[in-house]
Structure 1
Amino acid sequence: MGSPAPRAAWVAGGVALAGWALVGLGGGGIDPGDGLGGSGPTAAFLTLALGAPLAAVVVVLAWDRVALRTGPVRLALGACAGMAAWAALSMLWAASPTLAWIDANRQAIVLCALVVGAGLGALLPRAPLLLGLGLSAAALVPVGAALLTRILPELLGADSDLARLSSPVGYWNALALIAVVAAPGALWPAGARPAWRGGLSVGAAGTTLVIVTVLLTYSRGGVLALVMALTVTMAFVPATGRAVAALAAGAAGAVLPAVHGLTDPALTTDGLPVGQRADAGLGLGWRIAAGLVLAAVLAPLLVRAAGRVGLEPARARRIGLAALAVVVLVTGVVVSVVPEARGWTGDRAAEFRGEEGDAVANDPGRLVSTAGNQRRGWWGEAWRGFLDAPVVGQGAGGFALVHLQERATGDPSLMTREPHGVVVRFLSGTGLVGTALFAALLAAVAWGVLRAAGGRAPPEIGLPLAVMAAFLLQAAVDWSWAVPALTIPALAAAGVVLTSGVTGRVPGARPGPLAAAGLAAAVLIAIASAALPWWSTGRVLAGEDALASGRTAEAVRLADQARAANPVAPGPLLLLARAHTDDGERARALGAYRRATELAPDDPGTWRALALFLGRDRTAAAAWREVHRLDPRDPEAALRAG
């Protein structure tokens, strides 16, 4: 019989993994802060509301573990807590306090994931291996649901579906990284030592599923992250030869379904009615099934073939390096000699330099495009936002408003709410203070990695390291930090690495009254912080429905409830103004619109609402000038501001 703490830790770990799988199903927990509600904001609310108590329970269970008292863990937890607190504090000066509140909740989710990972890493034996395998199993839920939307479109799809695979997460790059997170644990059984029964087949089939999913998202960042995750995993896996065989078999199994999914017009055309995609979807389904079987059968055959020819690890490495050199040499010759290859390479170089325009189409061809897809412009906008407030930033999560002021084009299809880079995100949003806290978190993780390496950590440490490396690579060029479904596994992996290899207990250590009260207060604050803006948005949406049905009195009541829950959001005031307008009370409506502009003076949306309400009134031009100041590329504002 084990001690109560480990048994409870197993339960906590299972709950955490199940919760992460559900976050993936629930729009990835993505909350853009646009007030439209949906599964993403609801998942974000539930993640923090349930994750904070779970983190507190894990802290209590691991209170006597030496691992939680080491320098790297304390630095990481302090940095994470500081990031959440600073994001919340930025509501005082943020251009959009409600966006800062949402982002503070995101940082709190990051802290909870780190705490749970560190605590379970201190409690559970072989935590790195358990994490890797657990993430692979949990990822099957959103990944399987995503593939089924393509295989069974009439049952699970919609006529408005885009060709790029993104549902149920809602963002293709995020779905790709969820699949990548599953890759290390999927491949590990093939290269474990001693060998696991059926490990080769499981590893190969799992790799096939991951590769197909990543390719069908058309995510270039996902492909790079997958290469990173597999490279790190291969560097640590004990039986490298067996893992290589599983990887090769998995890649072979992915060819048939990937080619079909990337070339069949019924699967690569946006907005095609589900009835026209049914046959192609079933074709994708049987090809995936065939690919899984092929991979599972081929991997053991490759290992047997290598054994018959006496291909020892050292010789295999030499052959592999020689083959790689031949491939590079042949590629160089082809590019130099063949005009078509030389032209193709020149086109990719021009894309990289941005000479042919920086936007990339959402079709399979983007997988070989080297264009930045607007990132250089977005990073420049974030940098200029940082220069305007270098110490404290523009407010956490406030790049959406910075972008409107700094963007170089009025094309609505090129608009964004995130700068697509984690460093510029912190620089623009929370300034040097927030960036320094983020750097401290990275330093703590690096410290933990070096300590684990010096302490001769088990090879399983490669599993969380692979997850972290893949996440950081994608976060450097995307908005992964704003997606809870991505930060949760990455920070949990960081927590496991930080406590890996540190054993021992502090006799008699248990939370005192002050510590227990502090934990309880932190949990209550986190739950309230998650619930209030979410509930306020729900009241506004209900008020919109009431207004559409002519129930203005109910809309006013709901607007008042929404304002009480979230007094920094302009949405409730705008709802109140529309309700008063419908009642014919223009003076009260005007007052509500003006209070909204006072509450969010740097948000062009509030000024636009006021300007539209004023209509032909001569004072409307002043409101339009404010819209133009805050969004100079808005063509309507430029015209009406005079």
Structure 2
Amino acid sequence: MDAAQRGARSGLAVAIPGATGALLIWALFAGGGSGTDATATLGSAAVIVATLLMIGWARGVVVFPRLDRPGLVAVVAAALLVAWTGLTVWWSIAGDRSFDALAKGLVLLAFGAVGLAAAALPGRPVRALALLLAAALGAVLLWALLGKAVPTLGPDDAGRVTRLRGAVGYWNALALLADAALGLGLWLVATVRERFGRPLGALLLYAATLVILLTQSRSGLVAGLAVVALVLGLTTNRVEAALLALLASTPGLLVAGWAFTRPALVEDGGASAARVSDGAVLGVLMVLGSIAVLVAVRMVPVARLVSTRRQAVVRGLLGTAVLVFAVGLLGLVAAVGNPVTWVTSQVTSVGEVSNGPGRIGQFETNSRTVWWGEAWQVFRANPAGGTGASTFEIARKRVRSNARNVSEPHSLPLQLLSDTGLPGFLLGLAFVVGVALGIRATLGRLERDERAAAASLTALPLAFGLHSLVDLDLDFLAVAAPTILVCAALLGAGRPAAARAGGTMTLGVVVAASAVLWVLVAPGLSSRAVDAAYRQSSDADLGAAASSSRRAQRLNPLAVAPLYARATVAGLARNAGAAETFLVQATRLQPANPATWYELGIFRYVAGDLCGAYFAFNAAYTLDPKSSLFYEGSELDRARAAVNDPLQPACGR
């Protein structure tokens, strides 16, 4: 290696962690919820960083790890799953949605590439990544708690929905991040010996406990317990860590307990004045709780207690756990009688659990069992390839039992089955197995300090995996992107450097990155062009509106929104034939989407073509018989009556 390469590598040793931290913060704070808002911006940034890293690898200034067999299985399975997601566009019932899913998958692959490069840095890269993630998660949790204490800093609809969700936008996703923070907090208090490691770790544990409870997330509680059990099991000084965790989490339990007594803080629809006043008190209590945590970890001689009275400490910890379990079980029996019968009835219930502290003790699935059954029906009807990535919301309408909409079945395995068929599910399973075996191998080969940091990082993939069994976390880049980055880093940690890529790779990487960037930005540009077309139409600038709608269709030929815009513009131009043609094109583009047929039916109904309207409405009804659009006396009923009119049937005799 020449001097220029050594200088470049020393600079990258700072640049790569900086880029990694920036992407993590961006994803956590602006991941865009479950939609595609952040796919173009955050995704493009991740792809650009990954591209620069690959070019650096080709030039010999960036190192990527040479993965072992489980790591290769995971990486290949992930790449093939994204490719299969893209292939489902071919037969998807909503190609634009599947194209969006492909874009998200490519973004996650880019985050994975960044994670691999971060794992190959000199020094202690796993420890550095754990510190970065701990700081980022701490900032996310702090901001969420500030939003609860000061409502003006929280979400706009905090008065309507009081469950804590912070910048992520979804309470269960925020609870997932808090679960990961538990693992990192345990590592900080038990392993990091720097001056500020233990107090900051204790504060992270305190904040994570408080956030999990205020999200009222039942999956967050279960996953949090699993994370604590795993990280303690992988920690050498687990007794000391458990005692410190108890000291740090107890104030969080007490503060959350007080919050649960204030309806304005934990129940939907509270008065604004009460939220402000109770939030101020909560803020004071949170500060006092943090002070109590710092005093406890400072004053209680944990290390001496564990070294001199280890057995007594262990018995105390176990006794506390047994006592909490026994009290909870007795309370459950007193409240519901036979707990087995009660749990069975709760799980099989399809009722909605209202937001409030009481939901934590409920086992009702919020209709999840219904959605899981619908996903299974969709898969059984399309086992080879599913209905296309991210199309469950449309595919389920044929079999749903009510008019309620849901974007995903709230179970990643069933989502893969219904959307991508058996091949997608098997590729997802191969990825999970590869990651699990790869992380186990990583924990076995790292030296002590790096191993402890890696053990704490496993909290994130574990929490994500558990949550994804009952939720839609893959839709949120705020949790999916950091998880993939951490998984990749854990797979590559401690591995030797891979052989330098050939210099000819640079051109291929640039071409591929350019194509990926187009995949990421084209749908957003198309949506903007559609918005412009409607805006120009309202300003009576029909020429510009027609141009914008045509541009929107060129940018995203899989979407029906540009066709709707073109139909609107043609209608305003009094070209009814062209308008109907565009709506017919939409039904041909997405013939299994009831919305396209309904739009065509409405157009024909307004135009007086009741015969054509009936057939369009009937197609929509066949695809979505439980839609709220088809009520008694709706346009479908009126069109049907016109068709069946014995004197003047709309379709003729």
| Fold equivalence (TM over 0.5) | yes
Instruction: Output one character per residue of 1:29-53: Cα deviation in whole Å (capped at 9) or x when no partner.
Output: 3354xxxxxxxx3322112211112
Which one of 190, 193, 206 corresponds to residue 208 of structure 1? 206
Match of 1:460 among 421, 441, 453: 453
Aligned-partner Cα distance in 2 for 1:253–1:329: 21
In 2, Cα distance between equivalents of 1:185 and 1:528? 37
The alpha carbon displacement at 1:276 in A equals 4.5
Q: What's the counterpart of residue 379 of structure 1?
A: 372
Tell me whether 2-11 or 389-398 shows the greater mean CA deviation.
Answer: 2-11
After superposition, the Cα gap between the structure-2 partners of 1:228 and 1:308, relative to the gap in structure 1 and judged at 3 Å, is: closer
8 Å CA contact 1:420, 1:477 repeated in 2: yes
- The amino acid across from 2:416 in the alignment is F
Shift of residue 247 of structure 1? Answer: 1.2
The answer to whether the aligner puts 1:10 opposite 2:14 as a matched pair is: yes
What does 1:232-243 correspond to in 2, within 5 Å? 232-243=230-241
Query: TM-score if structure 1 supplies the norm length?
Result: 0.90
The answer to whether the Cα contact below 8 Å between 2:247 and 2:293 also exists between their aligned partners in 1 is: yes
- The match for 2:502 is 511
Closer, same or farther: CA 541–351 of 1 in aligned 2, 3 Å: farther
After TM superposition, list the pairs within 5 Å mapping 1:32-431 onto structure 2. 32=35, 41-61=36-56, 65=63, 67-154=65-152, 156-158=154-156, 161-192=160-191, 195-272=193-270, 274-304=272-302, 307=304, 311-313=308-310, 315-325=312-322, 328=325, 340-343=334-337, 345=339, 348-355=342-349, 357-410=350-403, 412=404, 415-431=405-421
Once residues 314 and 55 of structure 2 are traced to their aligned partners in structure 1, the CA distance between those partners, rounded to angstroms, is: 47
Range with greater deviation from structure 2 (480-489 or 198-207): 198-207
Whole-angstrom CA distance in 2 between matches of 1:196 and 1:610: 67
Question: Sequence identity of aligned pairs in percent?
Answer: 25
Paired residue type of 2:488:
G
Q: Which moved more, 1:116-125 or 1:524-533?
A: 116-125
Would the aligned equivalents of 1:264 and 1:280 in 2 still touch at CA under 8 Å?
A: yes
Whether the aligned pair in 1 keeps the contact of 2:68 and 2:438 (CA below 8 Å) is no
Deviates more, 1:386-395 or 1:346-355: 346-355
Shift of 1:161: 4.5
SS at match of 1:29: coil
Q: 1:540 aligns with which of 514, 530, 536?
A: 530
Per-residue CA shift, 1:302-324, capped at 9, x if unaligned? 335x7369644455334433554
SS at match of 2:66: helix
Aligned-residue Cα RMSD (Å) equals 2.6
Deviations 1:255-281, CA, capped at 9 Å, x for gaps = 343124333122234345644422122
Residues 506-565 of structure 1, C-alpha deviation per residue, up to 9 Å, x if partnerless?
4xx34321x222211221111110000011112222333333444444332221121111
Q: Structure 1 residues 455, 145: closer, same or farther in 2, change over 3 A?
A: closer
Structure 2 counterpart of 1:559: 549
Alpha-carbon distance between aligned partners in 1 of 2:578 and 2:376, rounded to the nearest angstrom: 41
Query: Structure 2 vs 1, CA of residues 539 and 70 (structure 1 numbering), >3 Å: closer, same or farther?
Result: same
Indicate if the aligned counterparts of 2:186 and 2:241 stay in contact, CA closer than 8 A. Answer: yes
In terms of mean alpha carbon deviation, does 483-492 or 176-185 score higher? 176-185
In the alignment, which residue of structure 1 is the partner of 2:482?
489
Is 2:457–2:486's contact at 8 Å kept on the other side of the alignment? yes
Relative to structure 1, is the Cα distance of residues 269 and 370 closer, same or farther in structure 2, using a 3 angstrom cutoff? closer
The AA in structure 2 aligned to 1:162 is V
User: What is the CA deviation profile of residues 122-150 of structure 1, one whole-angstrom value per residue up to 9, with x for unaligned ones?
Assistant: 22432222222211211234333322322
The DSSP-based 3-state class of the residue aligned with 1:576 is helix
SS at match of 2:38: helix
CA 1:404–1:512 in 2, change beyond 3 Å: closer, same or farther? same
User: Structure 1 residues 91 and 408, CA, compared in 2 at 3 Å: closer, same or farther?
Assistant: same
> For residues 155 and 109 of structure 1, do their structure 2 counterparts lie closer, same or farther at Cα, with a shift above 3 Å needed?
closer
Spell out the pairing of 1:19-30 with structure 2 (5 A cutoff): 19-26=23-30, 28-30=31-33
> Which residue is equivalent to 1:36?
none
Q: Which has the larger radius of gyration?
A: 2
What is the distance in 1 between the residues matched to 2:213 and 2:562? 42
Evaluate the alpha carbon distance shift between residue 82 and residue 285 of structure 1 in structure 2; reply closer, same or farther with a 3 A threshold: same
Residue aligned with 2:559, SS: coil
User: Would the alpha carbon gap of residues 245 and 447 (structure 1) be closer, same or farther in structure 2, given more than 3 Å must change?
Assistant: closer
CA–CA separation in structure 1 for the residues paired with 2:577 and 2:328: 73
Where does structure 2 lack aligned partners over 5 or more consecutive residues? 641-653
What is the distance in 2 between the residues matched to 1:230 and 1:329? 20
Which deviations, in whole Å up to 9, do the C-alpha atoms of 1:467-509 show, x marking residues without a partner?
A: 1111100011111112111111211121122112223564xx3
Q: Work out whether residues 379 and 421 of structure 2, in 8 Å CA contact, stay in contact via their aligned partners in 1.
A: yes
3-state SS of paired residue (1:44) = coil
What is the CA distance between 1:638 and its match in structure 2? Answer: 6.5
Contact 2:134 2:185 in 1 (8 A): yes
Q: Aligned partners of 2:270 and 2:529: how far apart in 1?
A: 35
In structure 1, the partner of 2:650 is: none
Partner residue in 2 for 1:38: none
C-alpha displacement of 1:580 = 2.2
- CA 1:353–1:226 in structure 2 vs 1: closer, same or farther (change >3 Å)? closer
Contact map agreement 1:608 1:627 (CA 8 A) in 2: yes
Task: State TM-score, norm by structure 2.
Answer: 0.88
Specify which of 488, 513, 525 is matched with residue 523 of structure 1: 513
Q: Determine the structure 1 residue equivalent to 2:435.
A: 445
Distance in 2, Cα, partners of 1:330 & 1:175: 28
Which 10-residue stretch deviates more, 74-83 or 497-506?
A: 497-506
Q: Alpha-carbon deviation of 1:593?
A: 1.2
Measure the CA separation in 1 of the matches of 2:337 and 2:347: 15
CA distance, structure 1, for counterparts of residue 266 and residue 482 of structure 2: 30
Deviation at 1:401, TM superposition (A): 0.8
Count of paired positions: 621
